[in-house]
Amino acid sequence: MQTLDIIRRRCGNAPVTLGLVLGSGLGHLTDAVAGVAIDYADLPGFPQAGVSGHRPRLVVGELEGVRVAVFGGRAHYYETGDPAAMRGPLEALRGLGADTLLLTNAAGSFRTDLPPGELMLLADHLNFSGRNPLIGEPSEARFVNMTEAYDRPLRAELARAAAAEGIRLEEGVYAWYSGPSFETPAEIRALRTLGADAVGMSTVPEVILARFLGLRVAAISVITNMAAGLSDEAISHEHTKAMAPLGAAKLERLLRRFLAASAR
Ligand code: HPA
């Protein structure tokens, strides 16, 4: 059976408005949605591998009056070497009727005014990996304009929701580094010089795919650590997962306020 048929049969035919992809340590937000959950394992075209701290299931249902599709986990390029690993889920999202995608991730910060626990709204990105999920895509649509990849009106709505909740939401540039090893301090110095404010191992290929599919995109980083060489704290995946809840509570408040405002 086709993926969309499976989702519709289990979750109903009502169109979805928005998709939400949850990053490392943020997967529990799937619990916030009143809806039906489907394991990725039951969905053809969805990534089957998993990283701890993610919850590989799709939940379709209501959150603050908006019908959403929440992706409890993502496939990272470093898991299989496939930068298009999230194409299946994003195509399904489009097929369900969504026009908007909100991505979240955990990231290491370069800025002392963005310490662990802060949120950063992506204004732009640096594709430091050199990989592109559209390599091999035959259609002319592959020549995606990335000038305004992070939708300005959407960013403004998120900024308003943050202000209403009293949450600081700085804008910044996110650099995608392939992982799975963390960066060296020299790489962080280089990325900083190039204009990045934070670094992580995800999101950028999904933004490219989402723009290709015609989705409006916004993305928020939960800062879990200072990037390599910028603090004495040891960087690890365990540390990322342990620190994510610091920002996750704020992120949930922000998302709820944003959705409630857009439901009106
Ligand atoms: N580097 C890359 N990815 C990350 C980091 C980091 O410092 N923190 C959380 N995800």
Interval 108-144: pLDDT, tens: 999 999 999 999 999 999 998 989 999 999 999 999 9
Weakly modelled stretches of the chain, pLDDT under 70: 1, 49-54
H/E run at residue 19: strand 18-21
DSSP 27-39: GGGGGGSEEEEEE
Please name the residue whose Cα sits nearest to atom 10 of ligand 1.
Answer: 107
From the list 78, 171, 187, 190, the catalytic residue is: 78
Known catalytic residue at 239: no
Q: Which residue ranges make up each domain of the chain? A: 2-263
Task: Measure the CA–CA gap between 89 and 138, rounded to whole angstroms.
Answer: 20
pLDDT number for residue 1: 59
* Span from the CA of 136 to the centroid of ligand 1 (angstroms): 28
237 catalytic? Reply is yes
For ligand 1, residues with CB inside 6 Å are 106-108, 177, 182-183, 199-201, 224-225, 227, 235, 240
The answer to whether the CB of 178 falls within 8 A of the CB of 201 is: yes
User: What CATH superfamily classification does 2-263 receive?
Assistant: Nucleoside phosphorylase domain (3.40.50.1580)
For ligand 1, what atom is nearest to the CA of residue 226?
A: 7
Could you confirm whether 227 is annotated as catalytic? no
262 catalytic per annotation: no
